[in-house]
Amino acid sequence: MRRRTLLQSLLSAPVVWPLAGQVLAETEDISGLRVVVVGAGAFGGWTALALQQRGARVTLLEAHAAGHPRASSGGETRVIRHMYRDAREVRMAARSLALWKQAEQEWGERLLHASGVLFMRQPEGRAFFAAADAAMAAAGVDYQTLDPAELAARWPQIRLAGIEQAAFEPQSGYLLARRGCHAVVEAFRRAGGDYRIAAVSPEPVRDGRMAAVALNDGSRIPADRIVFACGPWLPALFPELLADHLKTSRQEVFYFGTPPGDRLHNESALPVWADFGPTLWYGIPGSERRGFKLADDSHGPEIDPERADRIASKAGIEAARAYVAQRFRALADAPLIDARVCQYTNTPDGAFILDRHPEAANVWLLGGGSGHGFKHGPALGELAAASVIADQVMEPGFALARLGI
């Protein structure tokens, strides 16, 4: 087993981006700045909270409800982990983990289950593991490398056929998704923010600005700056700009029932896991007492987030059953007790979008979670707030220009 040293200073650093930290710490009084944030998911909720806490007058608008079933931030649980190819994303995950922990303490609500995350490598995962090893080493994030014998000794409930090596992050785990969205909104309201349920449409851009957003009741909300953080609804709101660059994929999630009295397949005995093989499967044991959760991370067909039925396919169920039988021997005949359909809002490179609208200087577009965005909500919200306050793009890797826009 090989262990790297955790740089505690990474988790206690003020922000991921030094420039963002300077803006948030030293900004002039912005109490008169009117900001509308559209979308109360992981990105929009944390952005609205960060702006409100810095003194802006923020209105947060959501079409259904925070963490609703059609949202990318809906459902019970999401993984939080540091294993990425890019050191920037490793640092973002570390910053977000620190902010999730801080939020738990301040709000008195458990949102993080630090049950650990186990990454199992088959031959198809070698390139990813090599890149992630370098990125995590550069960021100083603590993890352990395990060979098959060590894996078998620690987690005998896993069948290790095809597994060459594994990496284990003991400090990581899973987050409560819907509950987390609700908690952020409540913190925003306690800070004085205005939260409303309303369908929103962008108003026309005139003289390089958007003066307000229009609501479905016929009213409008004027704003100095507007942030659209609408997840899979972003391409529909800005089709000419984003329809060719943001694709929303249908993703199926399955919950299997464990045997009566079983303790080997819940979070007390098994961490969150991911299996990097011909298909990348991942799972969350226990998953807020809902069952043994697992899903195929491959991008599914395109989906309309507003109108699509959310019924799992027969092929998806059969594939999940086959995988469970192959990797977890005691669950070979486990019943399927629930299945959900959610979505990923994918950019071509998997990186997020945080940039101004090219024709409206006061409008910011925030999205492209690409299946891994929820964990990054706190850090990305912090960066988005700093960008809006400073009125400048702070992370070129999230800019629209990289997509040819």
- Tell me what pLDDT residue 29 has: 76
pLDDT exceeds 90 at position 310: yes
The pLDDT tens digits of the residues spanning 47-64 come to: 999 999 999 999 999 999
What is the overall mean pLDDT for the chain? 93
Tokens of 31: 């109490």
pLDDT exceeds 50 at position 175: yes
pLDDT exceeds 50 at position 87: yes
Q: pLDDT band for position 3 (50/70/90)?
A: very low
**DSSP letter, residue 5:** P
Rounded (10°) CA dihedral 39, 43, 48, 49: 130
The pLDDT tens digits of the residues spanning 194-246 come to: 999 999 999 999 999 999 999 999 999 999 999 999 999 999 999 999 999 99
Q: pLDDT band for position 30 (50/70/90)?
A: confident
- Tell me what pLDDT residue 28 has: 64
The pLDDT tens digits of the residues spanning 269-303 come to: 999 999 999 999 999 998 777 899 999 999 999 99
Global pTM?
0.94
324's CB contacts (< 8 A; 6+ apart) are 256, 292, 294, 331, 332, 334
- Tell me what pLDDT residue 190 has: 98
Tokens of 45: 């909720």
DSSP, collapsed to helix, strand or coil, labels residue 330 as: helix
- Tell me what pLDDT residue 12 has: 37
Mean pLDDT of the 341-346 span:
97
The rounded percent of the chain whose pLDDT value lies above 70 is 93
- Tell me what pLDDT residue 289 has: 79
- Tell me what pLDDT residue 287 has: 73
Tokens of 282: 């991942």
